[in-house]
Chains A and B, each alone.
Chain A
Amino acid sequence: MNWLAVLLGSVSHANWPDEETVIRLFTLQDYNTRVVLLGVTALGLASGIIGSFMILRKRALLSDSIAHATLPGICITFLILSAMDINSKNFFFLLFGAGLSGIISILCVQFLRAYTKLKEDAVLGIILSSFFGFGVVLMGFVQQHPKGNAAGIDGYIFGKTASIQAHDAQMLMINAILICIMSLLLFKEFRLICFDSCFAATQGWPVLKLDILLMGLVVIVTVIGLQAVGIVLVISLLIIPPAAARFWTDRLFYQVLIAGVLGAASGFFGAAITALFERLPAGATIVLVSATCFFVSMVLGSKRGMLMKFLKKRELDHQVLEQNLLRAFYELHEDDEGNLIPNKGARLNDLLIMRSWLENEVQAGIRILTRKGLVTKDANHNFVLTELGGIHATRIVRNHRLWEIYLITHADVATGRVDRVTDKIEHILGDKLVARLEHIVAEDYPHLHVPASPHPISGGKI
């Protein structure tokens, strides 16, 4: 396997950094690494914050369009500058050109959205590719320009993190501070347009202006970020950390905060890894670090993480199983009046025929009930409800029957079907709802303890 050898070879030949290098790096002792690390961290912070609002506004991919749409601006500025004989790679002018073309692209998006029948996704794709196509034409001119040192321009597409200079880092930090201040000042307004823009409009907020302001901030972050991580990868910093933060919280403030921190951390560690290992492309490394954050959040996130959801679901499944078992016990030993005959044992087989469940399912359920002290074994190795178990079982059966009666008398559900319908809902009946049910069916059943079942219980006595 030739390719495998190449793969293993490059991994084993990679220069693993020694301890001293790592310490020097993380204590920010080298001037160059310090500049790079701080700059990229600031970018991650800013893009995490502003990206959160964009994601909630369901405009995540707009930043994609904006980032690509900056290309013609950069090229035109370059051509104009070199025609005017100014230092043609002047940082500020190029950024200004990029920003201008980003803003024009936003206006075009708004225009197409308002005045044509094209859908949002098509509009974004059109703006992205048409601006970039125009940029490619201009790039052709740039590359043939006598002074066309196109390598510098190419840096805006793939990024050149390693060569971030002091003034770049300053710019990135100023940008981060600007974004923080703006989002704090306009927090309420942005929250409003993110969650309910129609309500915001009826309250008299200038939604369109706020939208454009928000997107203007995105343009600033994008344009300043181009330099550090490149066109495609700046998008990922605007999307991935905010999407990851969604797994941890339901509150906007924490969402913004966590996204900012995740973004900053991705920037920091991504740049650090690039500094430690040779030949790694910085932009791609930063993105992969943030993607790792995303997948970790997706699994472990405390609010919507998959593990959390799995645990919650398992808990619910257990609860349902327990309640079904208790009801099975009750209905197995129920007299004609609807009272539980105490201390009568049940075998596994008795329980198994009560509903369609598997043997190990029932066994697992009994184990849980035993642990909770609701079921014990008697002398004949039969399972018996304890006193506490009896009380619980009575309550559960009662809720089940109440709901059944309600369905028959008030919802016109056929008697033969109520059991199944009730089966789904009995586990989540709250105290208040039960009280109301009692109230509603009180007329028909004046003495309510456990009403007798309104239909023959299959497998039971009656």
Chain B
Amino acid sequence: MFLESDIWVMLAGALCAMSCACVGCFLVLRKMSMMGDAISHSVLPGLAIAFLMTGDRSGPSMLLGAVVVGVLTAVLTQYIHKQGQVEESAAMGVVFTTLFALGLMIIVYFLDHSDIDASCVLYGSLEAAATWEFEWNGYIFKTKIIQLAIILALNVLVIFALFKELKISSFDPALATTLGVHAGKLHYVLIILVAITTVTAFDVVGSILVIAMLIIPAATAYLLTQRLGLMIIISMLLGALGSVLGQLSIIYLLPAWGLPDTFSSGMMTVMVTVFLILAILFSPKSGILFKLIRHLQLGKEIFMNRVLGALYRTEEEQPNFHHLEQIQKTYPVRFKWAIWLLKRNAMVVADGKQWRLTENGEVYARKLVRSHRLWENYIFTNMNVPVDHLHYQAASLEHVTDESLLEQLAETTSLEHDPHGREIPQKKSKD
């Protein structure tokens, strides 16, 4: 059943995902993704101490505690990395696990379990975020949603104001420094944003799923575009969409599959992960599927070239030349397919049980064989490769040689025969 509260859950989730995503883009670009992980764990003692000191469970003191500990995490990591010559990721691991343990210790030892709920820390509670409200001047406001909106506005504002500086220092810190942009300061600006965002998103999606919100939409956008501005916008949209679809799937999809209700934050993460998987597969530039298609196409072309070359060589009437039968025997299915394709392109015609090159096919095949033998010649004379090793090298180069390279190759030699003593087919005049 779709309830009114679901809208609030979606809105809270979307705001949270958007504020995480726009900061997350810079984490991904600066290869600092695990810093998100570290900070989201290490803010725990900050929160615990802030709570211990003020007894206030939300509001500025918690934010301040989180920022202090967040910055402390970054500083300590750098300090251990530089002073102790510990590898950076290991230094980060040392710092955040220690701080997390410290936080856990404070919570268990000094605070009642009821103050900070362990399950809430881990899984978050979007549902609670939707119900927590306050009244002002007769209007009812959703506290958490307003908090999230403020953080989102802050993040967007800072990124907008420092866009140029962040961009240049993310892609080329050395250049940024020579241009007078203080890369180190920007680093800490980013750390502070991450800490603030993390602590605000903390009780909504849980400490570990904050990382998902920070990194996964940003990584998805990273695969889809190469423009920073677009990347930020796409990642924010994907985060928001993931939150809406996640909640919708809890309402409609899970009951339809006979599954019980579950955490909204988990479902949000699953949704954005689905987006990421789709991007990995189908991204137009770097998607695996398109790479595979291009790969297969290239394979098809090369195989067709091999068949054409073999036909040409057979028609040269070389004695004992069995290359064509060899191909046919080794790859019977692919051979039939290639012949079928070649016939359709009018390069080959059937001649009884044999195949013959058409005029068109012969021009093409002649070019291939010419390329092959010119390469053999070139490699033999210039690279000291023994005669019986020439074929494989030439065979891989012949497919990727274009007209002008071919003519340059031809100019390097005046020989009419390749090192095996076979004639190099001449370029046919175009009359």
Contacts and interface: CB of A to CB of B under 8 A. Distances in A.
Nearest to B84: A298
A444 to B, nearest CB: 42
Nearest to A121: B33
Contact of A294 (B32, B94, B206, B276): B94
B84 A306 contact: yes
Interface in A102-129: 112, 115-122, 124-126, 128-129
A396 interface: no
A132 B209 contact: yes
Interface string B89-119: 1111110011011101100111000000011
A360 interface: no
Interface residues of A, number: 64
Contacts of A235: 93, 97
Contacts of B215: 122, 125-126, 129
A134 B222 contact: no
A171 interface: no
Contacts, number: 219
Interface in B248-263: 259-263
Given A144-B261, A285-B105, A139 B80 contact: no
A304 B102 contact: no
B288 to A, nearest CB: 6
Interface string B43-80: 00000000011110000000000000000000000001
Interface residues of B, number: 65
Nearest to A294: B94
Nearest to B54: A3
Interface stretch (B154-162, B267-275, B306-314, B396-404): B267-275
B208 A68 contact: yes
A418 interface: no
B93 A236 contact: yes
Contact of B101 (A117, A144, A243, A284): A284
Question: Among A2, A119, A136, A145, which residue has the most Cβ atoms of chain B within 10 A?
Answer: A136
Contacts of A128: 37, 208, 211
Contacts of B212: 129-130, 132-133
B270 A133 contact: yes
Interface of A: 2-3, 6-7, 10, 55, 58, 60-61, 64, 68, 112, 115-122, 124-126, 128-130, 132-141, 144-145, 154, 157-158, 232-233, 235-236, 239-240, 242-243, 246-247, 279-281, 283-285, 287-288, 291, 294, 298, 304, 306
28 contacts: A60-B87, A60-B90, A61-B34, A64-B37, A115-B280, A116-B223, A118-B28, A121-B32, A122-B215, A124-B34, A125-B33, A126-B33, A126-B219, A129-B37, A129-B209, A130-B276, A134-B266, A136-B265, A137-B262, A137-B263, A137-B266, A137-B270, A284-B102, A287-B100, A287-B101, A291-B98, A291-B101, A298-B83
Given A137-B267, A137-B269, A144-B262, 5 more contacts: A61-B93, A116-B223, A117-B223, A125-B36, A140-B261
